[in-house]
Structure 1
Amino acid sequence: MAALALGGCELLEFSPNDFRSPENQTDLTAKNLERLRQQPLPAGDTLRFVFTGDSQRFYDEADDLVASVNQQAGIRFLVVAGDISDFGFAREMRWVDEKLRTLKVPYVTVIGNHDSVGNGREAYQHLFGPLNYSFQYGDTKFIMVDTNGREANFNGRTPDISWLKQQLSDLGGARREVVISHVPPQDPDFDPALSAAYAAALREAPRLVFEMNGHRHSSSITQPFNDGVWYVNSDAFSERRYMIVSVWGDKQFRVKQVKF
C-alpha cells in the first residue's frame, strides 16, 4: 500500500489555476510605475510610448517585439492593451512578463477578456495589480479601465462608469488624458447597457486625446460614434506590428506603425 501511495503522489502536479508567484512577479504594475517615476519626462516635452495588445501565447513574437522596441530611440514605456494570457492562467502571464522584463523601458498593462476567464482576474491582480487604475507621466494622465463586460456577465458594473467619470474630471495637474482599455465600446463583448454612457463620458472630457483598445487583433484609428473622439486599436503580437505613439501640446498626437 505504501508503494501504491508513493506512486500516486508522483502523478500529482500543481493546478494550472494556482496563481502564486515569486515576489519579483507580483505587483508588477506598481514596480513598473516606480521605474517610470525614476525617469521623469520634463514638462512640455513630447511623450513617446509603444502601444500594442493581445500577447496571449505569441511568445516567439514577443521576443522579436522586445528586440525591435529596444532599438527605438526616445521611447518612455510600453503599453499592452490586455489579453496578456490566453486562458487566464498565471503561468501564461508570468511567461509574458519574462519576455517583457527584458525591455529597456517599463511596461504597463490593462486586463483583457482572456485574462478574465476562470480565476484569471485574481491571477491578474496578484501578478499585476488593480483592474482599474490611473497614473500621470509628464503632462499626461493615463486611465486604465476594465471593460470586459461579457466576462462579468453584463452585470452593469463593468466598466465602472462612476470611477471613470471621476478620473476624467480630476486631471491632477496634467495637461491632457488618455483612456486605455481592452474591449472597445462598439464591440459586442462590451456591456451593451453601458456603451452609450462610456462613450458619453469620453465625449464630455475636454482634455481627452483618445481612447485606446486591443481585443480585435488589428490596428485602426477611427471615430466610431462620429462624436469627435478618436479610438485607437492595436494589433496583436501575432500581427508583428506595434504603434509608436507621440503626444504633445493640448491634444496633438501622431501614430507610427512599426513592423518587426
Structure 2
Amino acid sequence: MRRLLRRLLEPWMQVSGLLGMCALSSCGLLEFSPNQTLVPAAERQLTTQNLIRLTSRPKQESDTLRFVFIGDCQRFYDEAEDFVASVNQQRKIDFVIIAGDISDFGLVREMRWIHHRLRKLNVPYLTVIGNHDEVGNGRAVYESVFGPLNYSFVYGGTKFICLDTNGREYGFQGQVPDLGWLGKQLADTANTRRSIVLCHVPPTDEDFDPNLVQPYARTIRSSRQLVFHLSGHIHRFTNGQPFHDSVQYLTAYNFRKRHYNILSVWGRRKFNLETVAYAPAL
C-alpha cells in the first residue's frame, strides 16, 4: 500500500521540487543551456534602462559633458570591480562608455557577471557590441541583455552614434557597418551641437570589412560637427588621424590594462583627454 501511494505521489513530488527550485532562483536565474538568451526581467534591455537613468539627469547644451571611455572587459571581473571603485571616486562624471567585448564567448552568464559589477557604478553605463559578443548566438544574447546593435541618443547637445562594426563576424558581406544608417544619423543634427561615433572594431583593423573602410571614412568625415571617433578591440589606447582628414580616431584601454580615459567635451568641437590608472583594491 505504501509503495502504491508513493508511486502515485512521486510525479507531484517532482513537480513540487521543481517549483521550489524555481521560487528559490526566481525562475529566470536557472540556466538550462550555456547558449540560452533568457535573463531575468530586471536585467533585460540594459541600454534602455541606462538611457532612462541618464536622461533623468538633464544637462544643458552649454555645460561640459564628461564621460569615461574604456573597452573590452571580457573575463576581467576583478579588474571590473576595481574599475567601478575608481570611477565612483571621480567627480562630475556623467556616464561610462564601454567599447564592446563585454563577453568572451557571447554567453549570457558572462554579460550578466559583468553587469553585476558595473551596476554598482554611481552613473549609467552604455555599450556597443564587440566581435566576441557575437560568438555563437551571442548576437541574440546581446540584444536581449543590452538592446539594439545600432542606436543613437542625444545628451547635453551631443549626439552619440553607436554601431556594430564587426564585419568579420558577418563574413565581410558589405553590410556591416550599416553605412546608410550611419549617414542618416550623422546628417540628422536636429537639437544637437556636436556628434561622437562609437563602435568596437576601428576601421584600421583587419576585422573591419576591407571593402567598407574608405566608404566608412568618407561617411565619418562628411559630418561637420563630429568631435571624434571612439572604438575598442585592440586593447590599448591610441589617438591619431589615420586617414589624414582631420578626423580624430581614439581607441580604448581594455580592463586588464587598469587604465581608462575621461573625455570632457564642450563648445562646438572642443575636448580634453585625461588618463586614469587604477590599482587593485587593498
Superposition TM-score, scaled by structure 2 size:
0.87
Instruction: Give the alignment partner of residue 233 of structure 1, picking from 251, 268, 280.
Output: 251
Distance 1:46 1:139 in 2: 10
The answer for unaligned runs of 5 or more in structure 2 is 1-6, 8-13, 15-30
Are 1:31 and 2:49 an aligned pair? yes
1:156 to 167, 174, 179: 174
Matched residue SS, 1:202? helix
Percent identical residues: 55
1:21 has 2:21 as partner: no
| Aligned match for 2:110, one of 92, 101, 124 | 92
Q: Which runs of 5+ in 1 are unaligned?
A: 7-12
Q: Is the 8 A contact 2:183 2:219 kept in 1?
A: yes
The superposition leaves residues 212-236 of structure 1 with CA deviations (integer Å, 9 ceiling, x where unpaired) of 0000000011111111100010000
Q: Which runs of 4+ in 1 moved over 3 A?
A: none
Give the conservation status (yes or no) of the 8 Å contact 1:55–1:84. yes
* Displacement after TM superposition at 1:43 (Å): 2.3
Structure 2 counterpart SS, 1:68 = helix
Q: Deviation of residue 103 (structure 1)?
A: 0.2
User: What's 2:98 paired with?
Assistant: 80
Matched-pair contact (CA < 8 Å) for 2:68–2:263: yes
Structure 1: distance between partners of 2:79 and 2:205: 26
Query: Of residues 73, 76, 82 in structure 2, which corresponds to 1:64?
Result: 82
Match of residue 121, structure 2, among 103, 106, 113: 103
Residue equivalent to 1:145:
163
Identify the residue that residue 213 of structure 2 maps to in structure 1: 195
Q: Which residue of the partner structure matches residue 185 of structure 2? A: 167
Aligned to 2:26: none
Q: Which has the higher helix share?
A: 2
2:235 equivalent in structure 1: 217
Secondary structure at the counterpart of residue 211 of structure 2: coil
Indicate whether 1:131 and 2:154 are aligned: no
* C-alpha distance in 1 between matches for 2:189 and 2:39: 34
Counterpart in the other structure of 1:45: 63
Q: How many residues were matched structurally?
A: 252
Report the Cα distance in structure 1 between the residues aligned to 2:61 and 2:177, rounded to whole angstroms: 31
Instruction: Return the letter of the residue paired with 2:222.
Output: E
- Partners of 2:134 and 2:61 in 1: CA distance: 37
Contact 1:150–1:189 at 8 Å: present in 2 too?
Answer: yes
1:150 partner letter: R
AA of the residue aligned to 2:59: L
CA contact (8 A) 1:51 1:80 kept: yes
Between Structure 1 and Structure 2, whose CA radius of gyration is higher? 2
Give, in whole Å, the separation in 1 of the partners of 2:215 and 2:261: 28
Specify the SS of the correspondent of 1:40: coil
Shift of 1:172: 2.3
Q: What does the per-residue CA deviation read over 1:121-150, in whole Å, with 9 as the maximum and x for residues that have no partner?
A: 000000000000000000100000100000
- The 2-side partners of 1:247 and 1:152 are apart by 34
Residue 121 (1) aligns with residue 121 (2):
no
Q: Report the Cα distance in structure 2 between the residues aligned to 1:193 and 1:172, rounded to whole angstroms.
A: 31
